[in-house]
Amino acid sequence: MSKMFSFLLAIGITSIAGAYAQQPPVNPNAPSNPAVTTPAAPAPAAMPGANSFTEGQAKLRIENDGYTAVTGLNKDANGIWQATATKGGQNVHVSVDYQGNIVAR
């Protein structure tokens, strides 16, 4: 009986430990990752760095961000693409840094 009691005790402890190790149930109505759904704040300034975007890729990034009439696109000494573009009826200066961030001023 001692072996049987030890065996049942071991199974009981294992079952209890397994129950405590389980994750709580997932709420299907809760967002799966709120950080992904939160819009990122725009970069405050273009970051200097080794930019591997071609001129065409930089222009496409600017256009994909809602700008039109992209002109004067040049890469400066800090590796930042600089241009003038139109958005919302206003001409603005835009920059594309090495991370692909679009910054307008």
Q: What pLDDT does 2 receive?
A: 63
Range of the domain at 79: 2-104
> Which residue type sits at 66?
G
Using alpha carbons only, what angle is made at residue 104 by residues 100 and 105, rounded to the nearest 5 degrees? 145
The pTM of this model reads 0.57
pLDDT in tens, 36-73: 444 555 546 888 888 889 999 999 999 999 999 999 99
DSSP state of 12: H
Q: Work out how many domains the chain is built from and give that number.
A: 1
Structure token digits, residue 12: 């009981």
Distance, in Å, from the CA atom of 94 to the CA atom of 72, rounded to the nearest integer, reads: 10
pLDDT in tens, 9-18: 555 555 554 5
Q: Quote the radius of gyration of the chain (alpha carbons, Å).
A: 28
